[in-house]
Structure 1
Amino acid sequence: MKSRTRSIKKALPKPLKRVIRSTIRTFAVRTAERRVLPDFLIIGAKRGGTTSLWNWLVRHPHVEPMFPAAQQIKSPHYFDIHYDQGLNWYRSHFPTQEALLALEKRMGIRPLCGEASPYYLFHPLAAERAHAVVPEAKIIVSLRNPVDRAYSNYHERLGSGVEVLPTFEDAIAAEHSRLAGTDALVRTGAYSPEHDSHSYLARGHYADQLTPWLTHYDRANILILRLEDFKTDEAGEYRRVQEFLGLPIEPAPPTPRHNRLPVPPMNPETRSRLLELYADSNAKLEQLLGRPFNWNT
């Protein structure tokens, strides 16, 4: 049945798909007052394993997908890009209270719902906006060696056609001029494509980005993961996430990694230079969180 449904959806012309999506969203907005707000937010880092983490969680029997489930939405980007759409638009992405109550009655436990928008961590207004709407939400952050994160981010942007510079070295050399004035612009509530898409190095200074979240949310409500730990103890890390969210413990679903890109090795000289660039920033992160991250290689 599922394969037949997918075949039908695939056969639909794109204009019709857009009409269907718009109609569904309009209905969801009109029923927004009956809809819940998220129990958890996965806020980043981009290229830090957020997609794999989301796809693991949404397969948990007590985690509900965003609405509508058939669209497999992960990132509404409300607290960064689409804040001007309003709270009813945001609510429209989540299940109704009645649906969750029916599931709770059947399963004996209230299901959770959440979302994963990895730009939240880097966006200077997202933490304050999120706290104003969902002050009790659990916050999940998945960090990655900033050198590897930047390189992966560049190749993802290059592959999507957003990046036009032919080498990673060209892109990071251009980053300062590309981002000039964008932070101030974003703080006015405007959207900056450069700030969103070409911030390869800037997104790796995690301590500065975590500070607003630690200011607005209790530390006990923030779980900070390290992508490298998933590679060495996937089951253990997935268990940590479930315990943090108060979910019944389930084994990690046998899901392949998502958003993997076949990329050539980084130039060793570039890697050495970036490790030096991030040394102080990584030390600041370790001091802020009181734990080592071991990103010196």
Structure 2
Amino acid sequence: MHVRNLPTPVKRVVHLGSRSYGRLTAESRMLPSFLICGGQRCGTTSLYRALAAHPVVLKAVLHKGVHYFDTSYQRGLDWYRAHFPTLRTSERITERYGVPAQTFESSPYYMYHPQAVARIARDLPFAKLVVLVRDPVERAYSQHHHEVARGFEIERDFGSAIALEPARVHQQETRLARDPQHYSFAHQHHAYRARGEYARYLSVMVQHVGRERIHVVESERFFTEPDPVYDEVCAFLGLPADLERPTFEQHNARPRQSDMDPRVRRDLWNYYQSHDEALAGWLGRTPIWRRL
């Protein structure tokens, strides 16, 4: 039985035991050579599962997202290493395929937490970052539905949640940047509009890791043309794309929301225009959602 299918109390015990053992063997474990850093509600689960199916890629042992560089950094690097496969496992994969094995994880909040990328640059100085972007209006609406479904959002009306956002997240980004111990629930779960300002976050990433270590993927293109997008990601990561092809599926997806208040949609569409224009510089073209 897969750990994912176990009752929650049993999963907690299994995870605790695995992490405890992982800490004891930390020095003999891999660290990620790449990370999926976001954006949130942009298809990260689908890309994660496609890459995890690659024969020379080893995923994190327990979780898709470890959330070390954002909300768990105080736990230390040995705790982080405990989540990944052993070097011996890596060696067996390398021997079998003649290509260096890689491991990774996917924590979408890394893109947004003010300290995450600097921490990644310090602890994983050679790791590459994969970022997915999506129509920011649909992304915001999808996030709101997702947070409501998880019980993290009590305001069920999307327009009202957008109106509340400035007060909820006021100065939280500044506090997170200044205080390594600070945690903001609102910043992690209620920053709906801010999450779609992709170019702003990408510019911060560049300052810490350089443009050559960042690859941006449009989610709409990944879902409509998965094969060439997968090949491009593999080329960026130095992975052979022709060993085994994954089955491309869309995970955690919500359909386009036609029930969004037209006024809210229009206001967000206009708000994101300058941000999308800045993103075009990264993509080398107008974002897909601006051309549809």
2:31 is matched with which residue?
Answer: 37
The one of 275, 278, 295 aligned to 2:272: 278
Query: Percent of aligned positions with the same letter in both sequences?
Result: 39
Distance 1:37 1:263, change over 3 A: same
Distance 1:226 1:13, change over 3 A: closer
- How far residue 136 of structure 1 moved from its aligned partner, in angstroms, is 0.7
1:257 is matched with which residue?
Answer: 250
Partner SS state of residue 256, structure 1: coil
Distance in 1 (CA, whole Å) between partners of 2:137 and 2:34 is 28
Partner SS state of residue 114, structure 1: strand
CA RMSD of aligned residues (A): 1.9
Distance 1:196 1:233, change over 3 A: same
* TM score, norm. by length of structure 2: 0.92
Is the counterpart of residue 215 in structure 1 residue 218 in structure 2? no
Is the counterpart of residue 234 in structure 1 residue 199 in structure 2? no
- How far residue 262 of structure 1 moved from its aligned partner, in angstroms, is 5.4
Q: Which runs of 5+ in 2 are unaligned?
A: none
1:58 is matched with which residue?
Answer: 52
2:87 is matched with which residue?
Answer: 97
Correspondence list, 1:142-221, <5 A: 142-187=132-177, 188-189=179-180, 190-221=182-213
The one of 13, 19, 24 aligned to 2:18: 24
Kept in 2: contact 1:38–1:113 (CA 8 A): yes
- How far residue 16 of structure 1 moved from its aligned partner, in angstroms, is 3.8
Once the two structures are overlaid, the 10-residue window that deviates more, 245-254 or 278-287, is: 245-254
Distance in 2 (CA, whole Å) between partners of 1:186 and 1:171 is 22
Distance in 2 (CA, whole Å) between partners of 1:109 and 1:79 is 28
- How far residue 217 of structure 1 moved from its aligned partner, in angstroms, is 1.6
Once the two structures are overlaid, the 10-residue window that deviates more, 259-268 or 274-283, is: 259-268
Distance in 1 (CA, whole Å) between partners of 2:9 and 2:232 is 43
The letter for the 2-side match of 1:44 is G
Distance in 1 (CA, whole Å) between partners of 2:203 and 2:133 is 14
Instruction: Give the paired residue count.
Output: 287
- How far residue 150 of structure 1 moved from its aligned partner, in angstroms, is 0.4
Distance in 2 (CA, whole Å) between partners of 1:215 and 1:9 is 37
The letter for the 2-side match of 1:253 is P
Distance 1:158 1:79, change over 3 A: same
- How far residue 216 of structure 1 moved from its aligned partner, in angstroms, is 1.6
Partner SS state of residue 272, structure 2: helix
Kept in 2: contact 1:79–1:129 (CA 8 A): yes
- How far residue 138 of structure 1 moved from its aligned partner, in angstroms, is 1.1
Distance 1:154 1:16, change over 3 A: closer
- How far residue 218 of structure 1 moved from its aligned partner, in angstroms, is 2.7
- Superposed structure 1 runs of 4+ greater than 6 Å apart: none
2:101 is matched with which residue?
Answer: 111
- How far residue 294 of structure 1 moved from its aligned partner, in angstroms, is 4.1
Partner SS state of residue 105, structure 2: strand
Distance 1:21 1:103, change over 3 A: same
Query: How big is each residue's C-alpha offset from its partner over 1:178-209, in whole Å with a ceiling of 9 and x where there is no partner?
Result: 11121122121211000000000011111111
Kept in 1: contact 2:226–2:248 (CA 8 A): no
Query: How big is each residue's C-alpha offset from its partner over 1:44-67, in whole Å with a ceiling of 9 and x where there is no partner?
Result: 000011110000000111111212
Query: How big is each residue's C-alpha offset from its partner over 1:7-56, in whole Å with a ceiling of 9 and x where there is no partner?
Result: x985x654343222211110101111111210101100000111100000
Q: Which runs of 5+ in 1 are unaligned?
A: none
Partner SS state of residue 103, structure 2: strand
Kept in 1: contact 2:218–2:288 (CA 8 A): no
